[in-house]
Structures are given as structure tokens and as C-alpha cells.
Structure 1
């Protein structure tokens, strides 16, 4: 039996994408073989927010199923902290974040700079910066801007791009990486 998510992806296709990620990244990342053996049986996400002071460190997927309470906590954590609005975060983005984290073999949590953005927040940020898209995937709950102090922007971007599952933007001047579950593409420097 194949389980279909609300996004139209099957569990099997998502697990296949993660397996392909590990195989593709094997020459570059020492932990890739271990990631492949796990096959997605357990997925964990670790993040903190410098804006709210909140932290999460949780398993959100076990044996082919998302954990409902963990997903609710991720949605709340990744809310627009400026307006306190939440949105259902696309779990494909969380999966990309978790896979990239595993490939980098770090225990340090991501610093979440931006998850969901309300249209008002996106418009405000867009008025201040050319780098904010008018129809940003952040407004759909499909993107995250992340930082790790123990890894460079290039290392993070390389791990995320190895997932071949969405967009990866390098923002070296601002020291963060954008990850989303949209069309596979890369940009920035």
C-alpha cells in the first residue's frame, strides 16, 4: 500500500529521493552510506530561533509516518515571528532540511532565520531588499532560511543541493542558505 501525502508525493517516491540523495552525495559526504542504510525510518529536526529564543530537537517521522504532534510543533516553531501567524509547513522542506543536516554530519541545530512569512511580512522585507521574491515560497510554508556556525554557506548549500529536491540559495554575505521544496534550482554566491 502506498501512502499519498496532501502534496501528491507518495511515500515511496520521497524515500527514493532520499536514497538517491545518499548515493549521489556518497563521494563527498562521509556519512552518506549511514544515511542510506537508515532509509528514512527515523527523521529528526534540530533548530533554534535567535528571534524567539525557542528550540526544537525532535523526531518528526518514524517508520513511514509523520508524527502529528511533532508536525504541529514544527509549524508553530517556523511561524512568522513578526505577526505570530502560523501556516502548515510543507513537510518536503523539512525533509530536505533534515537530509542536508544528516549529510553534513553535524549535531549543531540549525538557526532558523525565516520560515513561514505572512504576505505583510514578505511585502515589508521586499520593500527593504531586492533579494526577497514577490511570490516567495516562504509565504506558502515551503521555504526556510538557515544558518550553521560550524559549516560554511557553501558546505550547507552543497548538502542541500545534493538532495536534488528543491531550490537552494546561497547568501554568503548574509551567512545563510535558503532551502525550499519548489523546482530544483540553485542561485547565489
Structure 2
């Protein structure tokens, strides 16, 4: 199912990301002419794994579409820096014990969320692009310089 909010997406959807934790880079076309590409999605799943323990989970393609649409709306050439993709229950529990900003039932646990940043764009710019998709949750974490995007209910928080 192609998300109608991917304005200007054309017939190709592409994700560009960098993972500062692992040093890995991803520049991947994951959707062509209405079809998600299985091999590409598997590579994205691996890239967005829980880097602390290597656990991989299927990333919801709706989240990938929101990320791509936001990136397109920003007219950004640089890749996203992935702060957090999938989180295992163990990692989420550890993060919760160290921070009040980590949800017990985080959508990261279900592969439905990503925390991202772009050096060339502010948290507010990225969050406005994500919110313009009207397709999920958008959290501004200005103090930590990242934006949370998920494919859950439409809502926003932070500043």
C-alpha cells in the first residue's frame, strides 16, 4: 500500500542514513512503482537494528515512508543521522532507567519509530516536515537535537 502523503515521491522512494554508533551508511531505494523491495527492506531492517545487542526487527514501512516524505519536503541532500531505530525490550528498559523521556511501551519496540537528525536542518524544521505528512507521531527533542517520527496515531510533543 503506497502512502498518499508521500508528495513528490514519484515512482521511487529512497532512504539515505548514517549510523554514528556503527559507522554504517545506507543509501537505498526501497520502493519502485508501487512495490516495496524485499531485499532493500531487509537491509533497512538490519541498518535500523538495536545496535547495543544486534537484534533486528521488521521496521514498519509506514515509518520509512514518513521519513522519506519528510526528507523530500526538506529538500535535504545529506543523509539522516539515525539516533535510534528498533529498540529491544532490554535496551528500552535500560534507557527508561536513565531517562524520564523514554516511554514504557515505546513504538521503537515494535519497529514503528525512528529518532533522526540532520546537520543542515533544525529540530523545528525537521519536525514541521514530519508533521506536514499527517501520518504519525512527531516529537521534538531540541535539547538532544533530534526528532522522533513514528507511524502511530497523529500527535506531537516537545519543543
Q: TM-score, normalization: structure 2?
A: 0.98
Unaligned 5+ runs, structure 2: none
- Aligned with 2:20 (options 43, 47, 50): 50
- Find the counterpart in structure 1 of residue 150 from structure 2: 180
Preserved CA contact (<8 Å) 2:16 2:79: yes
CA RMSD of aligned residues (A): 0.9
In structure 2, what is the equivalent of residue 93 of structure 1?
A: 63
SS of 2:114 mapped into structure 1: strand
SS at match of 2:147: strand
Task: State yes or no: 1:161 paired with 2:149.
Answer: no
Aligned counterparts of 1:46 and 1:165: Cα–Cα separation in 2:
20
Tell whether the 8 Å contact from 2:5 to 2:69 is kept in structure 1 after alignment.
no
For these two proteins, the number of residue pairs brought into alignment is: 159
TM superposition outliers: structure 1 runs of 4+ over 3 Å: none
Give the equivalent residue in structure 2 for 1:29: none
- Asked if residue 61 in structure 1 is aligned to residue 27 in structure 2, the reply is no
Residue 17 of structure 1 deviates from its aligned partner by: 2.9
Matched, 1:17 2:12: no
Give the one of 44, 54, 70 matched to 1:74.
Answer: 44
Q: 1:58 Cα deviation (Å)?
A: 1.1
Query: How many Å separate the matches in 2 of 1:116 and 1:167?
Result: 16
Supply the distance in 1 between the matched residues of 2:49 and 2:5 (Cα, whole angstroms): 27
Query: Which structure is larger by alpha-carbon Rg, 1 or 2?
Result: 1
TM-score, scaled to structure 1: 0.82
Higher strand share: 2
Q: Aligned equivalents of 2:146 and 2:59: distance in 1?
A: 20
Stretches of structure 1 that go unaligned for 5 or more consecutive residues are: 1-9, 23-34
Instruction: Measure the CA separation in 1 of the matches of 2:132 and 2:93.
Output: 31
Aligned to 1:27: none
The CA deviation at 1:180 is 0.2
